[in-house]
Amino acid sequence: MTSQTQPVIQTIAHIERTYPNEWVLVKETAWQKTGHPTKGIVMAHSPDRDGLVPHTIRLHEQEPSVKTYAFYTGPVVPEDMVVVL
């Protein structure tokens, strides 16, 4: 006998803390009024972005209208780098 677990909806902030310095693919479930996702279900995570590609393709094939959010949970700009605009 197999048991199926229910997907866990988490806040984006909680996901960022749970998967530090990783790329995360989230199935969006809630949004701000501006459209930015606030909650979702983690579908995949990987230390490199390419690790999300097969999961993203499969998910969009299974659910063509699904909204996903792929993001990096670590620092966007390394601490020893200065950005000049």
Quick: pLDDT tens for 17-70: 999 999 999 999 999 999 999 999 999 999 999 999 999 999 999 999 999 999
Higher pLDDT, 81 or 53: 53
Q: State how far the Cα of 64 lies from the Cα of 2, in Å rounded to an integer.
A: 27
pTM of the model: 0.83
Residue indicated by tokens 């790329």: 23
45 secondary structure, DSSP code: E
Say whether pLDDT at 15 is over 50: yes
